[in-house]
Structure 1
Amino acid sequence: MDPGKVSIFKTYDKPRGQGGSGSFATFMIIGPTCFFLGMLFSAFPYDYPLLWTSEPTPTAYYDQFEAHLRFLHASPPIIPRILHIAISIGFIGFFTKLFKPSEANLLFDGASLLLYVVGVVVYITNIVKGLRIVTSGVYGQQESDSELAIGREDSLRVLAASNTILALVLVGVLVLQAGQWYAERKESDEIAKFEKEEKEKTGGKGQTKGGHVTRSSSKKKQ
């Protein structure tokens, strides 16, 4: 086999995200994302009567929902700290994968990071703010002229809708990460197939040349 042809295959790099730090960084993204989805799923029984049913919601339900939200907002400081650490782990995973960006990183990881940032913005502007309003019990006040004053029921519906939006955003992050894994796996298989075909071609040429030399030498002996 010609050494020059062998060096061609050595120029192919293994797609990023497979093995080593790439796989660990992907785990750092998927782990917190699944953790947040689990938290949102635990809140789904409270959100369901507000968004997904046409039956009138009883007043007692709002009292129960408010008590649940106040309990969450009054949780010990270690609970939000763990949540913020999980958010930071996700950002570290994204920055690790985008440290040396490739085409796949810019397409999939860039879009995933954008969705992740959108999720954090929804969490800060809607969920955290909604928990503070529920804890204070003051509804219908305008913080600025550009904001609309909404009552108790609408405030709780906005909070439930924010949970749904955040869940959809996080599912989008998982879909993009799965798409990146599939694209890199497909690319790796195509490169391996191309290398195999090239090796078979070069190997067949070597056998042909060897057979030609043997026949010519036998003719000289005769």
Structure 2
Amino acid sequence: MAFKSGSFATFLILCPTCFFLGIIFSLFPYDYPILWSTVTTPASHYDYFEAHLRFLHASPPLIPRILHIVIFLGLAGLVTKLYRPSESNMLFDGASLVLYMCGITVYIANIVKGLRLASAGRYGADLATSPDEKDQILGREDSLKVLAASNTILALVLVGILVLQAGQWYAERKDAQEFESLAAGKKDKHEGADSASSATASGSAKTGRQGGQRKKSN
């Protein structure tokens, strides 16, 4: 089965995906009041969020290197499973690869950019090079809202990858069960045919012996 042969590649996909979901969950206390709370978000919450983002962006180089290595491991697992793909791999792993690349795009385009803006502390009018650009560039609160929304989008993408991998496991498990049931049915049918042929052969032999005994008695 493709799932058994690619079990290590599946492990390389699931572990980074769960790792990234854990990171996003750690940011959920900052994202929830901005996106989902019905109460007006206080200005101090944006200060806390911005301070946390600055702390993350100022982390030692080892931290982003580990993060990028984990990203590469997930991508390597998907590419490995798509090497000489079956129909199941093309459907589930192909869709997982598309979602994974969407997640990488969101990370590079929104999250990394948002971390740089928060670290620099420059938004909106501070980045405008002309008076016309002041209304076109997002301010501080809007930029942090975009970053929080990007975290939510990335979480949905990662959950989609987990759902696809679970769907692949379930589909291949059902195929294995159907194959085993068909094989058992063919085996029972073959054994029934063998027993019938054995019974026919024994009956013919018995009839032959009876006929020989009758000839001897005559």
TM-score, normalising length from structure 1?
Answer: 0.89
Instruction: Give the match for residue 130 of structure 1.
Output: 114
Superposition CA RMSD, Å: 1.7
Q: 1:43 & 1:192 partners in 2: Cα distance?
A: 46
- Greater relative CO, 1 or 2 (CA 8 Å, sep 6+): 1
Q: 2:195 & 2:167 partners in 1: Cα distance?
A: 42
Q: Helix, strand or coil for the counterpart of 1:156?
A: helix
Q: 1:98 aligns with which of 74, 79, 82?
A: 82
Instruction: Give the match for residue 73 of structure 2.
Output: 89
Q: 2:20 & 2:3 partners in 1: Cα distance?
A: 23
Greater mean deviation of Cα atoms: 101-110 or 56-65:
56-65
Q: 1:150 & 1:33 partners in 2: Cα distance?
A: 30
> How big is each residue's C-alpha offset from its partner over 1:118-165, in whole Å with a ceiling of 9 and x where there is no partner?
00000000000001011111111358x999311111000000000000
Amino acid at match of 1:209: S
Q: Which runs of 4+ in 1 moved over 4 A?
A: none
Instruction: Give the match for residue 216 of structure 2.
Output: none
Consecutive unaligned residues of structure 2, counting only runs of 5 or more, are: 211-218
Instruction: Give the match for residue 175 of structure 2.
Output: 187
Structure 1's 175 and 132: CA in aligned 2 closer, same or farther, altered over 3 A? same
- 1:17 correspondence with 2:3: yes
- 1:150 correspondence with 2:138: yes
Q: 2:136 & 2:144 partners in 1: Cα distance?
A: 15
Q: 2:176 & 2:97 partners in 1: Cα distance?
A: 24
Q: 2:59 & 2:103 partners in 1: Cα distance?
A: 22
Instruction: Give the match for residue 172 of structure 1.
Output: 160
Identity score, percent: 60
Q: Helix, strand or coil for the counterpart of 1:167?
A: helix
- 1:167 Cα deviation after fit: 0.2
Q: 2:139 & 2:12 partners in 1: Cα distance?
A: 39
Instruction: Give the match for residue 200 of structure 2.
Output: 212
- Indicate the structure with greater helix content: 2
Q: 2:44 & 2:140 partners in 1: Cα distance?
A: 13
Instruction: Give the match for residue 114 of structure 1.
Output: 98
Q: 1:60 aligns with which of 34, 38, 44?
A: 44
> How big is each residue's C-alpha offset from its partner over 1:3-38, in whole Å with a ceiling of 9 and x where there is no partner?
xxxxxxxxxxxx2012x4x10000000000000000
Q: 1:114 & 1:174 partners in 2: Cα distance?
A: 13
Q: 1:27 & 1:215 partners in 2: Cα distance?
A: 59
Instruction: Give the match for residue 150 of structure 2.
Output: 162
Q: Helix, strand or coil for the counterpart of 1:17?
A: helix
Consecutive unaligned residues of structure 1, counting only runs of 5 or more, are: 1-14
Amino acid at match of 2:112: V
Superposition map of 1:35-50 within 5 A: 35-50=19-34
Q: 1:183 & 1:64 partners in 2: Cα distance?
A: 45
Q: 2:31 & 2:194 partners in 1: Cα distance?
A: 70
- 1:69 correspondence with 2:53: yes
TM-score, normalising length from structure 2?
Answer: 0.91
- 1:220 Cα deviation after fit: 1.4
Count of residues in correspondence between the two structures: 206
Q: 2:136 & 2:85 partners in 1: Cα distance?
A: 43
Q: 1:166 & 1:24 partners in 2: Cα distance?
A: 24
The structure with more radius of gyration: 2
